[in-house]
Amino acid sequence: MNVVVCVKQVPDPNSPGRLDPSTHNLRRDGELVLDPGDEFGVEAGLQLTEKHGGEVTVVSMGPERALDAVRKALAMGASRGVLVCDDSLAGSDALTTAKVLAAAIRRQDFDLVLTATESTDGYTGVVPQMLAGLLDIPAVTFAKSVSYDGEVIRVERQTETGIEVVEARLPVVISVTAGVNEPRYPSLKGIMGAKQKPLDRPSPTDLGFDAGGGASAGPAITAVTAAPERAAGEIVRDEGEAAARIVEFLAARKVI
């Protein structure tokens, strides 16, 4: 089974992001990491190919620095990487992103496409289904477990009310939730080996896109304003009195 895993480099979720005041694009000048949500997809791909044979290819779109995120997935054990990198793609909306990823995926020999349910920075949550639509294959989203018996892919997926067990056939796009598995840490050998693994760097033209067609096609952010601040709250450092302050606060609001 050959698996493509889509990954994204994002600002470290532990340091809050912001938009560039002039371009309205996401600022990427802070610490950047492989989206923690994508590690679950990489792990799921590795587990499936370890059991059923085949290779994991990671596919990403992003600036030059996103190579680090692809390399991390390679260090975890993926066999090859694809990074689409072009200035015209900066600020792409979800559909443009999905088109680029789908075009890169079509160049691979794949049976299964894995993604996270949403990126940690943009979190539109629509790219997995867009990929499926563009590749003209079905999608099963929000997988909490994925297994394969050589014929049927069986997925337990999250819904508003509980769990749905879904059976599907390859090829299919599956988005996995965090918690579907325990992503492995790259070994030292894996990290050293990652630099030697095949890396494809197609340009948008290689993928059949017109030059400069990327970001301009989507809807435009026309205003960014600071959210109305909540009135500055009271901050208490607990030195034994905090519980009493909470109780007093609740009493003042007639909760108790």
Partner 1 sequence: MTVALTWVFSEIVDGKPIPAVLELLTAARSLGGAVEAVALSPDAEAAAAVLGEYGATTLLAGTDAAYAELLPGGPAADAIATLAAEHHPDVVLIAATYLGRDVAGRLAAKLDVPVVANGLGVETGGGLSVQSSIFGATQDVTTTFGQRKPAIVLLRPRSVDAESSGGGPATVVAVTVEIAEQHRSVKVVERRAEEASGPKLEEASIVVSGGRGLGDAKNFELLEQLAGLIGGAVGASRAVVDAGWVPYSMQVGQTGKTVKPSVYIACGISGAMQHTVGMKGAQTIIAINRDADAPIFKLADLGVVGDALKILPQVIEQIKARKA
Chain positions 111 to 140 lying near partner 1, rule: CB under 8 A, are 117-118, 120, 123-134, 136-140
In the complex, the smallest distance separating the C-beta of residue 233 from partner 1, rounded to whole angstroms, is: 5
| 256 forms part of the interface with partner 1 (CB under 8 A) | yes
| 90 forms part of the interface with partner 1 (CB under 8 A) | no
Stretch of 52-60, 154-162, 187-195, 204-212 lying at the interface with partner 1 (CB under 8 A): 154-162
Looking at residues 7 to 66 of the shown chain, list those that interact with partner 1 (rule: CB under 8 A): 13, 16-19
In the complex, the smallest distance separating the C-beta of residue 167 from partner 1, rounded to whole angstroms, is: 5
| 221 forms part of the interface with partner 1 (CB under 8 A) | yes
For partner 1, the closer of residues 93 and 200 by Cβ is 93
For 70-139, give the DSSP string: HHHHHHHT-SEEEEE--GGGTT--HHHHHHHHHHHHHTS--SEEEEESS-TTT----HHHHHHHHHT--E
| 211 forms part of the interface with partner 1 (CB under 8 A) | no
Cis amide prior to 186 (ω within 30 degrees): no
Q: Residue type for 137, please?
A: I
In the complex, the smallest distance separating the C-beta of residue 124 from partner 1, rounded to whole angstroms, is: 4
In the complex, the smallest distance separating the C-beta of residue 152 from partner 1, rounded to whole angstroms, is: 9
For partner 1, the closer of residues 159 and 196 by Cβ is 159
For partner 1, the closer of residues 211 and 246 by Cβ is 246
Stated as kind and residue range, the H or E segment containing 247 is helix 242-252
In the complex, the smallest distance separating the C-beta of residue 171 from partner 1, rounded to whole angstroms, is: 9
6 close to 59: Cβ distance less than 8 angstroms: yes
Alpha-carbon distance of 9 to 14, in angstroms, equals: 14
Alpha-carbon distance of 206 to 216, in angstroms, equals: 19
User: Torsion over CA of 244, 247, 251 and 254, rounded to 10 degrees?
Assistant: 170
For partner 1, the closer of residues 71 and 157 by Cβ is 157
Instruction: Rule CB under 8 A: choose which of 85, 90, 94, 215 binds partner 1.
Output: 94
In the complex, the smallest distance separating the C-beta of residue 199 from partner 1, rounded to whole angstroms, is: 27
Q: CA nearest 121: which of 225, 229, 37, 227?
A: 37
